[in-house]
Structure formats: C-alpha cells, structure tokens
C-alpha cells in the first residue's frame, strides 16, 4: 500500500490527518519572521490575524505564504476530498498565548452544524474507494501544538456521526475523553474536513501558538459573496491562480488543478 493510500485511509477514518516534518526549519523561520515583521497586536480577545476575505490577508506578506497554497504535500490529499477542481474560500492565521480560553466545538456539516435543519445542497455520497466532501482546512503549524499545549482539537470519526453533539461534551470538551488534541510539532500540516466536530483548545503552552489556516472548497460551492483576492506583490504560479477563480461547475466552468500540472509533483 502506498503512503498516499495510507493517508487516504486515515483521513477518511479519523476526519483529520497530521503530516509531520513538511516544512523545514528555514521555511518555518521565514514564515515566522514575516509574521514578526507585521507587529501584530498582542493576542487576547483577538485570536486571528491576516484574514481574508476581504483582500488577500497574509498572502500579501510574501511568497513563503503563497508557496503553501499548492504545496506538493497537500495537493494529492485535497484531491481525495475535493476532486480536481477547488477554490480557496478563506484564510486566517491563529495566534494564542498562555491562558487564552478554548473556543466552542463545531462542525459545518451534519447534525451538529448550524444549518442542519435546512435543505441540503448538492450532496456527494460516499462511493467505494472514493470520498468527496466539500470543505477541507489545511492548517500549517508554525509552533508546536498538541496535548501539552492546546490548539486544534477534535472528535476523531465525528464527521461520520449522525447525531447532534451531546451538551455534556459541548459544555466541557476538556473533560470528554473523546475530544483529543492531536500532537503536531512545528513544521507539521493538519488537514481536516469541516464535517469533523472540532474546535480550539485553551492554550497552555509557554510559547505562542502560531498556525496558518487555508480553507479549500469544491469549485461550485461558496459561503459568502466575498472572495480572497490574489496578492498584489507576489506573482502566483498558473496553478495557484486557479484557486482564486470565480466559483463554477467543476471542469465545465472551473479548470482542473491537476490536468497539465504533472510537472508539479502531481501523484
Ligand atoms: O485550529 C483551530 O484552533 C480550530 C480552527 C477552526 O475551528 C476552524 O478552522 O474551523
Ligand atoms: Fe472550525
């Protein structure tokens, strides 16, 4: 079984995947230095930085942020869940300091989602050996996160649950053994489906939490009328540019991110 098949299996079973050692120390330092240069306000009530839409958010801060858009470590995995045609719906960074409280557990699909009572849109059922799901988050971990510190937390497998999140877990996720904080050292990437029940655990680390979140969805799906704009000062590759295209039907009105990009390490 190839490593990719293993990743596919684990992503499907767990609803998330951690891949360690994707960014090397130089790449991490470059990203962290560019964030330092922004002189952001001390995190507290505000936990997010560099958000878009509107504008380009942290993509405007330099090429290292744009290099992550179509990184070879994530593209084959995004393809499992989003098919060949997908767009960048939104981005933001998260930073946290010791003592900052948790966020609420949530999911964007299924019984726990805020829209669970509404008519579903086009639905992609699971077919053997092929899973598609409209919305995937790629979190680039720029400082260590995990059970000792806090950060991203989730209920593994909850993307397949048919029941609403029980109030006992909602009110005290830190006491629920089913809620875990995956270990993800700096340089890791976490991919998760927004169907997974997930959230932000309180931060206990002495160091600052820093993560960059890139959220991708199938090409014909949008959440708002606002769009992430391509950065003004960085020349994007043709493949990266596709992510900023107007929403449209896959292949008919929105091009593939894989056809013709074989030279970019497409698996
Ligand atoms: O990484 C985190 O703290 C969770 C972020 C989150 O809830 C999300 O991306 O939807
Ligand atoms: Fe979320």
Domain ranges of the chain: 3-114+130-258
Ligand nearest to the CA of 93: 1
DSSP per residue over 2-36, as a string?
Answer: -HHHHHHHHHHHHSEEEE-S-S-HHHHHHHHHHHH
For the domain spanning 3-114+130-258, the CATH number is 2.60.120.620
Atom 8 (ligand 1) nearest CA:
199
> Which of the two residues, 1 and 12, has the higher pLDDT score?
12
Pairing of strands 189-193, 16-19: antiparallel
What's the confidence (pLDDT) of residue 2? 83
Q: How far is the CA of 198 from the centre of ligand 2 (A)?
A: 6
Task: For residue 80, name the pLDDT band (cuts at 50, 70, 90).
Answer: confident
Mean pLDDT, range 136-160, rounded to an integer:
96
What pTM did the predictor assign? 0.90
Q: How far is the CA of 89 from the centre of ligand 2 (A)?
A: 13
| pLDDT tens digits, one per residue of 199-235 | 999 999 999 999 999 999 999 888 889 999 999 999 9
Q: How far is the CA of 50 from the centre of ligand 1 (A)?
A: 15
Task: For residue 111, name the pLDDT band (cuts at 50, 70, 90).
Answer: confident
The yes-or-no verdict on residue 142 having pLDDT over 60 is yes
Nearest atom within ligand 1 for CA of residue 139: 1
Locate all alpha helices (DSSP H) within 160-211, ordered by sequence.
167-171
CB contact at 8 A, 240 and 113? no
Write down the mean pLDDT value for the chain: 91
Q: What proportion of the chain, given as a percentage, has pLDDT over 90? A: 78
What's the confidence (pLDDT) of residue 267? 40
Which residues form the pocket of ligand 1, taking CB atoms under 6 Å from any ligand atom?
94, 137, 139, 151-152, 198-200, 211, 213
DSSP per residue over 208-267, as a string?
Answer: PEEEEEEEEEETT--SSS--PPPPSSSPPPHHHHHTTSPP--BTTTB--SSTT-GGGT--
């Amino acid at each position: 079984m190839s490593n990719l098949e293993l990743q596919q299996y684990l992503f499907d079973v767990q609803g998330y995947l951690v891949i360690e050692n994707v960014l090397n120390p130089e790449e991490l330092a470059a990203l962290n230095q560019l964030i330092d240069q922004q002189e952001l306000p001390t995190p507290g009530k505000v936990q997010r930085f560099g958000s878009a839409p509107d504008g380009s958010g942290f993509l405007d801060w330099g090429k290292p942020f744009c290099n992550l858009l179509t990184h070879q470590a994530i593209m084959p995995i995004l393809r499992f869940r989003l098919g060949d045609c997908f767009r960048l719906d939104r981005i933001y960074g998260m930073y946290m300091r010791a003592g900052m409280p948790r966020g609420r557990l949530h999911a964007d699909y299924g019984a726990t989602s805020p829209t669970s009572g509404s008519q579903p849109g086009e639905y992609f059922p699971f077919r053997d050996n092929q899973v598609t799901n409209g919305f995937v988050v790629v979190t680039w971990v720029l400082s260590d996160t995990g059970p000792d510190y806090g950060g991203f937390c989730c209920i593994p497998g909850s993307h397949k649950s048919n029941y609403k999140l029980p109030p006992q877990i909602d009110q005290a996720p830190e006491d629920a053994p089913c809620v875990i904080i995956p270990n993800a050292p700096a340089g890791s990437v976490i991919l998760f489906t927004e169907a997974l029940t997930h959230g932000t655990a309180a931060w206990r680390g002495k160091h600052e939490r820093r993560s960059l979140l890139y959220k991708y969805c199938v090409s014909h799906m949008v959440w708002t009328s606002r769009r992430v704009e391509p950065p003004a000062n960085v020349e994007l590759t043709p493949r990266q540019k596709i992510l900023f295209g107007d929403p449209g039907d896959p292949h008919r009105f929105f091009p593939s991110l894989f056809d013709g990009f074989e030279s970019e390490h497409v698996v």
